[in-house]
Amino acid sequence: MSCDDARAALLAGDIESAASHIAGCRSCRADEASWQRWREMLMEPSIWEEPSDHLAARIFERVENAARGSRFSRLRWLWAGAAAFLVVLAGALVFANGRSPDWSIPLVAIAADPGTSAVVNGWNTSTGTRMELRVAGITPAPDGHYYEIWMTAPDGRHVSAGTFRAEGTVSAWAAVRRSDFPRIWITLEKIDDNLGPSPTTYFDMVG
């Protein structure tokens, strides 16, 4: 399976078919979280809902009233109509992604400076676990390195949930349930052929 085939399978929901390719392809593994975010967004029913006739009529009535009387009315109509469309679309996106986290976990600095912080907010979904990682104070990963987010099962199996290079808010996704892979931790990885976690742990859960 090629990288394009794996991406298409993942976006179509055929996670099992894509899993073996992603497990052995570092490039696809790094992109997996973003593919899953797109898939979740495209699956959200609110994205495809059309506004009611009543709402559409009110929008166009207000736009028409605002544009009436101006010699630039046609141009203002076009701009206002585009703005109204963007407002409706933005509202749908906020609705799709505005659900409160199902759980929130602060991580403890291990190799990182004690003054740094990391908090993981998580959502349980029908296709796995979606996470938002907020990291503050960490130094950017050195050249040839990156930070990687891991989920680990009690029996020692590891699943990568995504990668990042510097502090900020990071979106992550893994095709496993957190109940099965409860440990969440972050390592510093070197860009090489080793697909497992390195021994350099930057953040980990308490206990």
Same domain membership, residue 132 and residue 187 = yes
Q: Is 17 helix (H, G, I), strand (E, B) or coil?
A: helix
**Residue 16 pLDDT level (bands cut at 50, 70, 90):** confident
Question: Range with the lowest mean pLDDT among 48-62, 111-125, 172-186?
Answer: 48-62
Same domain membership, residue 65 and residue 145 = no
Is 198 a member of any domain?
yes
Find the mean pLDDT for residues 41-52.
57
Tally of CB atoms within 10 A around 41: 14
Same domain membership, residue 176 and residue 82 = no
Tally of CB atoms within 10 A around 38: 12
Is 168 a member of any domain?
yes
The count of structural domains within the chain is 2
Same domain membership, residue 110 and residue 74 = no
Same domain membership, residue 104 and residue 199 = yes
Same domain membership, residue 87 and residue 142 = no
Q: Tokens representing 7?
A: 């991406």
Which residues contact residue 168 at a Cβ distance below 8 angstroms, ignoring those fewer than 6 apart? 134, 135
Tally of CB atoms within 10 A around 189: 22
Same domain membership, residue 86 and residue 128 = no
Is 23 a member of any domain?
no
Cα-trace Rg, the chain:
22
Same domain membership, residue 104 and residue 90 = no
Top-confidence residue, 37 or 195: 195
Same domain membership, residue 130 and residue 183 = yes
pLDDT of 87 over the 70 cut: no
DSSP summary character for residue 161:
E
pLDDT of 94 over the 90 cut: no
Query: What does the alpha-carbon distance between residue 206 and residue 202 come to, in Å, rounded to a whole number?
Result: 13
Same domain membership, residue 156 and residue 60 = no
| pLDDT tens figures, 101-114 | 999 999 999 988 88
Is 5 a member of any domain?
no
Q: What is the mean pLDDT of the chain?
A: 78
Same domain membership, residue 175 and residue 93 = no
Which residues contact residue 91 at a Cβ distance below 8 angstroms, ignoring those fewer than 6 apart? none
* CATH at residue 123: 2.60.40
pLDDT at residue number 164: 94
Residue 9: which H helix or E strand, with range? helix 3-11
**Residue 139 pLDDT level (bands cut at 50, 70, 90):** very high
| Domain limits for position 162 | 100-204
Query: What does the alpha-carbon distance between residue 126 and residue 152 come to, in Å, rounded to a whole number?
Result: 19
